[in-house]
């Protein structure tokens, strides 16, 4: 069981007993189910002209209904959801499991997007090789601990309006034209560094990746409607580290809402089993 921030392909989900409950994206007066009613690309296009943008967790009723249907089909259920520090989705999922009277192993991914997808794909692999749910849980939690996720937000105004950055930081950053390098830290998004130029912020993100280079096999570059910049980073990584696999992914809208269109992010998992 997961949510739409996992970026799992629906066809892959159907073939591998993965159930996805969508978060809601709100543009003005309209609400969309993430990944069902609107694609990430279409969302960013619409977001340009809409000042009132937000998101909300799935209704608990959707989880209850799904768990009621699943408990007669499966012996064990593992729920991996986006960071509980940023969304109540995991909490709703676990409450729903209790109401539906079905035992569920809950895992807080402490992130969203690429790392969550990799945790789920790895979990499927471990299940196929005969690991118990408890062993799978422990292995996935090890991935959570070994995950790095950095982003350079394009819009401090959106971060500020969502309460992610204080007014003072926003004012100083605007006056000095500082770029923030943010990092996921135990599920929270914190300011890692304040850097003068976007170019230097991007370089710093690449330098942080290089510190882990011996321990990683793959890096994901995410962008909020900024594919040109993502491709430049990919080319730079491929040129310097040809053995390292790279992937470009459109940043999940629920995160893009806060960080703004144009945001660039990078994520990798140390000692990642790299199953595909």
How many helices and strands, by DSSP H and E, does the chain display?
11, 13
User: Would you report the helix, strand and coil content of the chain in percent, each value rounded to 5?
Assistant: 45, 25, 30
- Phi–psi pair at 263, nearest 5 degrees: -60, 145
CB 121 within 8 Å of CB 218:
no
Q: 145-267: same fold as 1-144?
A: no
H/E segment holding residue 11: helix 10-15
Of 99, 73, 108, 101, which is closest to residue 3 (Cα–Cα)?
A: 108
pLDDT on residue 244: 96
Successive 10-residue mean pLDDT values, the chain, 276 residues: 96 97 95 94 90 92 97 96 95 98 97 97 96 97 97 77 59 68 92 91 97 96 96 97 96 90 96 70
The pLDDT value recorded for residue 258 is: 86
CA distance 71 to 97: 9
pLDDT of residue 179: 87
What are the distances in angstroms from CA 140 to CA 206, 209, 252, 268, 269?
25, 21, 21, 14, 11
Q: CATH second-level architecture of 1-144?
A: 3-Layer(aba) Sandwich (3.40)
pLDDT for 272 = 85
pLDDT at 274: 64
Could you name the CATH architecture of 145-267? 2-Layer Sandwich (3.30)
Provide the 10 A C-beta neighbour count for residue 36. 11
Can you give the residue ranges of every domain in the chain? 1-144, 145-267
What pTM does this model have? Answer: 0.91
How many CB atoms are closer than 10 A to CB 26?
Answer: 15
Q: 146: closest CA among 274, 241, 25?
A: 274
């Amino acid at each position: 069981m997961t949510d739409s921030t996992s970026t799992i392909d629906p066809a892959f989900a159907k073939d591998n007993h993965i159930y996805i409950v969508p978060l809601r994206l709100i543009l003005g007066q309209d609400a969309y189910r993430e990944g069902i009613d609107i694609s990430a690309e279409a969302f960013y296009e619409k977001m340009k002209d809409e000042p009132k943008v937000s998101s909300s967790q799935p209704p608990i009723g959707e989880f209850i209904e799904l768990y009621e249907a699943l408990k007669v089909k499966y012996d064990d259920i593992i729920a991996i959801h986006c960071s509980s520090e940023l969304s109540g989705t995991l909490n709703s999922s676990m409450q729903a499991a209790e109401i539906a009277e079905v035992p569920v192993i809950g895992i807080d991914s402490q992130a969203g997007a690429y790392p969550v997808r990799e945790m789920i794909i790895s979990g499927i692999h471990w299940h196929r090789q005969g690991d118990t749910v408890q062993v799978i849980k422990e292995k996935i939690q090890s991935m959570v601990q070994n995950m790095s996720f950095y982003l350079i937000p394009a819009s401090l105004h959106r971060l500020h309006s969502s309460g992610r950055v204080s007014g003072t930081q926003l004012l100083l950053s605007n006056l000095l034209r500082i770029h923030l390098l943010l990092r996921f830290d135990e599920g929270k998004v914190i300011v890692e560094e304040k850097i003068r130029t976007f170019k230097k912020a991007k370089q710093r993100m690449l330098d942080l990746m290089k510190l882990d280079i011996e321990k990683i096999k793959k890096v994901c570059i995410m962008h909020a409607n900024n594919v040109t910049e993502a491709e430049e980073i990919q080319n730079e990584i491929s040129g310097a580290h040809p053995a390292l696999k790279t992937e470009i992914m459109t940043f999940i809208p629920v995160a893009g809402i806060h960080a703004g269109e144009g945001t660039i992010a990078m994520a990798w998992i140390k000692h990642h089993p790299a199953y595909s």
